[in-house]
Amino acid sequence: MSTKNVIELSNLTKTYQRGNASEVKAVDDVSLKVVDGEFLTILGPSGSGKTTLLNLIGGLDKPSEGTVILDGLDISKLTESELVKVRREKVGFVFQAFNLIPTFSALENVEAPLAPTKMPKNERIERSQELLWLMGLKQRADHLPAELSAGEQQRVAIARAFANKPTVLLLDEPTGNLDTKSGKKILELCHRASKEQGQTVVAVTHATYIRRYTDCLLFMRDGKLFSQIPQEEFEEAE
Amino acid sequence: MNPITYALREIRRRRYRTAVNIAGIVIAISTLITLVMAARGWETCTTVPLNSIGTDIILYYTAPLKPSGEGCYIVNHLFSYPFNQSMLNDFESVHEVERAVPILMHRLRAMVFTGIDPSETETNAVLPSSIIEGRYLKPDDRYVAIIDKEYAALMNLTLGSTVNYAADFEVVGIVDVSATNIMKSHIYVNLQAVQEVLPEQPIGLVNMALIRTNSPDTVKQAAAVLEERWPDTRTITGSDLAETASGLIQINEETAWSISIALAVITILFTAKSQLGNVAERTREIGILKAIGWSNGNVVNQIVTESLMQGAIGGILGCILGYIFASYVLFTIGGELGGALKFVSVDPVLLGVGLVIALGSGVVAGLLASVRAARLEPVKAIRTI
């Protein structure tokens, strides 16, 4: 495995204002390095700041303090239009709620991140078909999200995340809306695809069975990251 | 995904909202076309009959001038009371009057026989430009006539034929006189010849004057001055013709455009509000697109494409409906005012303008709505339920 740092977080803090000027630190002074090709999983309870951390890494949100260096680029200082380029070229997102476009077919959903790029249409379609095949959805390419099962929808979302060959794949509760069997299948696919395509993966989840697929496990609580995972996390989940 | 395909699917998904937007555009565009064409038809009805003979005012007497007296042949067979031709010089002394042209129009049963001064080639009951065969009258012509082409066809008359009306006249020209010509006659001859051949020989008498003013803006004033100085005279102007068609939409083109532009602005605001609602409903979807790499430009392009397509559909339907309404209005005005509108049809340029306004409304409404879409922060938009 290469030792090049793909993600470097330094003293990263995200603060939200909540009513009566009270402040909530969703991410509190987090520093972290993720090397190229690594599959990192962050476990933690709801409201611990996992999604916020993922959004900061992916350039969907801006930190209140600290820096995010993604593939050598300090994205905490970029403008919105520069962040669009980062999200388009370097990041692939998978959301808990699938977040597919309801009027797009499975194939079109996978193609969506490529639409604003200069890639020719036939190449875009070829790439999307290839990814759907990888996800075992070749026969479902023309189906709308509403015609797919939850597991199939999440597989489409994963295919979409891989479409632009991102440097980093960010999985936000990828199995949250799935049963254990489908969840494991999804993680297996993510793990296999990331290894085949050479992506660095950061996943945040409740699902402790993810440890089978991950290279590194961290725990998050109250906006802080810990390397020790409390035993009760596994006991509760399993 | 092609933006047009995406837009079509969104339009299909939001049928009700789309139908309401399109209906607004259809109403605005069809109203524009109908109002403007009604205004043009109106203008045609009120100006063409006079303009086609180069005059602004027709003047005639409503009371007998002594010694002609009521009951005489000439009064019974003329359209109005005769007056001395020399009075034309008096009419020309009015500041606003540029030229007064004599006409002696005589009717016998269904035949109209008009004496004209052939030297008047700018303002006259029939102008040289109407000649389709032969020649126009000359000042020294006596027993020659020019005749209307429909009359010629009906009577099987050609150049060289003879028409008899109190005397024999040789046909030297055939004219094509538009139905909009208020002075349309069967036979036109030299004024002096008419005065000589009619019973009682009304030498030096005419019964109408075509008045050309020095500016279109002074027509009303000239008519008022003429009626004031010669109280027994009556004048007919374009405005008077307009009054004959009561109950129709009496609107000028400027007002029609003003109303239409106001409607277009209301439509833009209405469509923009509706599109804002559309953007609000799709907040999450827009957030997802931004999260996966769509720029604000891509999102704006998509919203504007959708709005533009609604504008295009509304514009096409509005033009079709406007064409139907405008044709009906022109037909109705034409029915009330006679044949003046035979030659007015819906202007294709106006249909084009209607379509451009509809497309413009779509673009402006789309741009207004897309500002909101562009401002959406993806991280907040994705959390929207």
- B276 to chain A, minimum CA–CA distance in Å? 19
Q: Write down which residue in A165, A200, A229 finishes a domain.
A: A165
- pLDDT, residue B385, reads 62
Could you tell me which of A141, A147, A154, A152 has the C-alpha nearest to residue A102?
A147
Are A73 and A87 in contact by the 8 Å Cβ rule? The answer is no
Q: What is the pLDDT of residues A83-113, one digit of tens each?
A: 999 999 999 998 878 889 998 999 999 999 9
Q: What is the pLDDT of residues A128-168, one digit of tens each?
A: 999 899 888 889 999 999 999 988 998 899 899 989 889 99
Q: What is the pLDDT of residues B99-128, one digit of tens each?
A: 999 998 887 777 888 999 999 999 998 999
Q: Which residues of B touch A88 (CB under 8 A)?
A: 292-293, 295
CATH code for the domain of A53? 3.40.50.300
Q: Write down which residue in A165, A180, A214 finishes a domain.
A: A165
In this structure, the answer to whether residues A83 and A171 fall within a common structural domain is yes
A176 versus B93: the higher-pLDDT residue is B93
Paired residues of A10 in beta bridges: A67
Question: Which of A55, A108, A112 comes nearest B379 by C-beta?
Answer: A55
In this structure, the answer to whether residues A123 and A45 fall within a common structural domain is no
In this structure, the answer to whether residues A21 and A40 fall within a common structural domain is yes
In this structure, the answer to whether residues A28 and A78 fall within a common structural domain is yes
In this structure, the answer to whether residues A113 and A230 fall within a common structural domain is no
- pLDDT, residue A191, reads 83
**Position B375 pLDDT exceeds 60:** yes
Q: How many domains does chain A have?
A: 2
In this structure, the answer to whether residues A3 and A75 fall within a common structural domain is yes
Q: Write down which residue in A165, A197, A228 finishes a domain.
A: A165
In this structure, the answer to whether residues A158 and A104 fall within a common structural domain is yes
Are B62 and B233 in contact by the 8 Å Cβ rule? The answer is yes
Are B268 and B358 in contact by the 8 Å Cβ rule? The answer is no
Can you tell me the distance from the alpha carbon of B22 to that of B361, in angstroms, rounded to the nearest whole number? 11
With cut-offs at 50, 70 and 90, classify the pLDDT of residue B343: low
Whether B291 sits inside 8 A of A93 (CB atoms) is yes
- pLDDT, residue A104, reads 92
Domain range for A57 is 1-90+167-238
Question: Which of A84, A101, A108 comes nearest B288 by C-beta?
Answer: A101
At A168, is the secondary structure helix, strand, or coil? strand
Could you tell me which of A71, A65, A78, A32 has the C-alpha nearest to residue A225?
A32
In this structure, the answer to whether residues A179 and A229 fall within a common structural domain is yes
Q: Which residues of A touch B379 (CB under 8 A)?
A: 55, 60-61
**Position B247 pLDDT exceeds 60:** no
- B327 to chain A, minimum CA–CA distance in Å? 41
- pLDDT, residue B79, reads 67
Which residues of A lie closer than 8 Å to B, measured between beta carbons?
Answer: 55, 58, 60-61, 80-81, 84, 87-89, 93, 95, 99-104, 108, 111-113, 115-117, 160, 164
How many A/B residue pairs have CB atoms within 8 Å? 61
Q: What is the pLDDT of residues B188-234, one digit of tens each?
A: 999 988 888 877 667 788 888 999 998 888 888 999 999 999 988 88
In this structure, the answer to whether residues A4 and A84 fall within a common structural domain is yes
In this structure, the answer to whether residues A65 and A182 fall within a common structural domain is yes
Q: What is the pLDDT of residues B80-99, one digit of tens each?
A: 778 888 899 999 999 999 99
In this structure, the answer to whether residues A79 and A173 fall within a common structural domain is yes
Q: What is the pLDDT of residues B23-38, one digit of tens each?
A: 989 998 998 888 888 8
In this structure, the answer to whether residues A58 and A175 fall within a common structural domain is yes
